[in-house]
């Protein structure tokens, strides 16, 4: 019986890895396509705003992934006993913390990182075409360093917040998710 459970667990894990890999591929493909087709056709200021939005999404989802992984599940069961709509979502997220964290941190976070790199390259080309007094190498290097600094600094700051306020973050995230999704009753 124990061997069968282990095989089922490995099979489920393999299915999850396959699914998450396909989802990451498709999201990267879609968002890279959008970045490559939309960004070159908008003003530099809008490119910069979109870049900050992508970086911000990566940071927020990294924070959510850490919060789910570190939150105390008992808090969500308590919410559930009070009949709060988002309680079932919170419990589901916490029961699947490994998958939730992987999706938030690895899929969304990493896709945002990849897209921000592509967007940075597009922005560097746009700026280089407008400002010829500075070499494109210098502009690219500066933009890359700024993207890395904002991303790493933002994630470092938000990891601390996520660990200190994990239950609050999961509750808020669950409230948003519960607008679109209601888990099935067990």
Contact, 79 vs 171, CB < 8 A? yes
Q: What is the pLDDT of residues 35-90, one digit of tens each?
A: 888 888 889 999 999 999 999 999 999 999 999 999 998 888 888 778 777 888 99
User: Domain limits of the chain?
Assistant: 2-180
pTM score:
0.83
CA distance 36 to 33: 5
| Rounded average pLDDT over 154-162 | 95
Return the structure tokens found at 102: 């992987």
């Amino acid at each position: 019986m124990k061997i069968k459970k282990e095989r089922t667990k490995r099979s489920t894990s393999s299915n999850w890895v396959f699914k998450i890999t396909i989802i990451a591929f498709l999201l990267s493909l879609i968002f890279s396509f959008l970045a490559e087709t939309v960004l070159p056709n908008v003003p530099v200021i809008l490119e910069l705003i979109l870049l900050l939005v992508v970086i911000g999404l990566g940071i927020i989802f990294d924070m959510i992934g850490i919060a789910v992984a570190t939150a105390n599940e008992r808090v969500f069961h308590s919410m559930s006993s009070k009949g709060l709509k988002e309680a079932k979502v919170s419990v589901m997220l916490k029961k699947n913390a490994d998958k939730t964290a992987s999706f938030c941190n690895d899929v969304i976070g990493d896709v945002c990182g990849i897209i921000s790199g592509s967007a940075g390259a597009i922005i560097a080309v746009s700026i280089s075409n407008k400002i010829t007094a500075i070499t494109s190498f210098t502009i690219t290097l500066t933009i890359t360093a700024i993207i890395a600094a904002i991303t790493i600094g933002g994630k470092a700051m938000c990891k601390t917040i996520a660990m200190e306020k994990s239950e609050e973050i999961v509750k808020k995230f669950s409230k948003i998710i519960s607008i679109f999704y209601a888990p099935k009753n067990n």
